[in-house]
Amino acid sequence: MTRIFGPVPSRRLGRSLGIDVIPHKTCSFDCIYCECGKTTDKRCRREEFYPLGELLDELDNHLREMPEKPDVITLSGAGEPTLYSRMGELITKSKRLIDIPVAVITNSSLMDRKDVQEELMPADILLPSLDSALEESFQLLNRPHPECDLKNIIEGLRTVLSKFKGKTYLEILFLEGINTDRKNLLALSSVIKTLDFDTIQLNTAVRPGTEKSAHPLDINRLKEIRQFFGPKAEIIAAPKVQAEKTETDAEKKILSLIQRRPCTVEDINRSLGIPVPGVVKIIYSLLEGNKIVKEEQGTDIFYTTAARDNN
């Protein structure tokens, strides 16, 4: 099963070719707003989940088959990519395959570790997040592994950003009533003044998260909050690029499958071999386009179409 997905349209990176370096929902956090579902393996221990050689071979083959190269290669997935223990080698060797930037999207949880700090340095773009500078809201929002210490995370983030030579986009995700009060905003803005980055990207939960308490902000509230963070702050807009043919083909396959029977994300992944992050992105696109509907049965979420084949 391939761990390469895309290219998919990214509101921050353009046409992003993803490398899914970790098993589904293996993460140091269990964020209440995560669109990929609940964390099933909460950990801080790093591991070579997939052999490095296999990942590089899959990436090389995928790139050779693409009629047009992507804008960026992104280490991501439905979890925390810095948990991949050979991340530094993967970044370096990916850049030898093709001359395009390599990006890492991270929740910043392991940035206090020297090995992670060193392995991030060869990347071209770093997209870390920091949703809170206060312990209470950090616990409510991110539900971290017990080994994750907020003060250490902030100090590690400060160290990495002071040394990193590429582009840095610091993301903050806001949920109404959790990290949007004045106390939280002042604490967060105070910490951010000590960090070195190119842009702050303000975000909110635009897709269903794991908890109903994840209430998104409207654009006016985000504009109010932006005033706390100065001229480098921007509100992340919807992606302006269109899905490429590879994603369109995957969408057709997913639609064809769920027209025959209701499926979970995992069902689609197993049936079609499309990596989970790619499935999730396409599912939400189909939901937003009213092409499919969501049905909850106990703790499982199934996707189906209104006009389903009963054969």
| pLDDT tens track, the chain, 311 positions | 578 887 776 767 888 898 989 988 899 999 999 877 789 999 999 999 999 999 999 999 989 988 889 999 999 877 899 999 999 999 999 999 999 999 999 999 999 999 999 999 999 999 999 999 999 999 999 999 999 999 999 999 999 999 999 999 999 999 999 999 999 999 999 999 999 999 999 999 876 778 877 888 989 999 999 999 999 999 984 443 334 445 567 888 888 888 877 888 878 877 676 777 778 878 878 887 888 988 877 767 888 885 444 44
Last residue of a domain, one of 190, 208, 235: 235
CATH number at residue 35: 3.20.20.70
Same domain, 285 and 153: no
- State the virtual CA torsion across 89, 110, 161, 199 in degrees, nearest 10: 100
Same domain, 179 and 269: no
Q: Is residue 240, in this structure, part of any structural domain at all? A: no
Same domain, 197 and 285: no
Same domain, 226 and 254: no
Q: Which helix (H) or strand (E) holds 199?
A: strand 199-204
What local confidence, expressed as pLDDT, does residue 222 receive? 94
**Burial of 130 per CB tally in 10 Å (0-12, 13-18, 19+):** buried
How far is Cα 33 from Cα 57, in angstroms, rounded to an integer?
33
How far is Cα 259 from Cα 126, in angstroms, rounded to an integer?
39
Q: Is residue 10, in this structure, part of any structural domain at all? A: yes
Q: Is residue 311, in this structure, part of any structural domain at all? A: no
CA-wise closest residue to 305 among 280, 282, 288, 287: 287
Q: Is residue 61, in this structure, part of any structural domain at all? A: yes
Structure tokens at 218: 């409207």
Same domain, 157 and 250: no
Last residue of a domain, one of 217, 235, 253: 235
How far is Cα 263 from Cα 258, in angstroms, rounded to an integer?
6
Last residue of a domain, one of 235, 262, 282: 235
How far is Cα 275 from Cα 281, in angstroms, rounded to an integer?
10
Domain membership of residue 297 as a residue range: 245-304
Total-model pTM:
0.80
Q: Is residue 291, in this structure, part of any structural domain at all? A: yes
Q: Is residue 289, in this structure, part of any structural domain at all? A: yes
Same domain, 25 and 80: yes
Same domain, 299 and 182: no
Report the domain count for the chain.
Answer: 2
- State the virtual CA torsion across 85, 27, 218, 281 in degrees, nearest 10: 80
CB 217 within 8 A of CB 204: yes
Burial state string for 50-80 with b = 16 or more CB within 10 A and e = fewer than 16: bebeebbebbbebbeebeeebbbbbbbbbbb
CATH number at residue 292: 1.10.10.10
Determine the straight-line distance between the first and last CA of the chain, rounded to whole angstroms.
Answer: 29
DSSP 26: E
* Contacts of the segment 205-209: beta carbons below 8 A, 24+ positions apart: 205/33, 205/35, 205/173, 205/175, 207/35, 207/284, 208/35, 209/31, 209/32, 209/33, 209/34, 209/35
How far is Cα 109 from Cα 73, in angstroms, rounded to an integer?
22
Same domain, 165 and 297: no
* Residue ranges with strand state E in 99-176: 102-106, 125-128, 167-174
Same domain, 45 and 128: yes
CB 220 within 8 A of CB 204: no
Same domain, 228 and 249: no
How far is Cα 28 from Cα 99, in angstroms, rounded to an integer?
31
Same domain, 10 and 111: yes
Q: Is residue 184, in this structure, part of any structural domain at all? A: yes
Same domain, 170 and 75: yes
What local confidence, expressed as pLDDT, does residue 102 receive? 97
Q: Is residue 309, in this structure, part of any structural domain at all? A: no
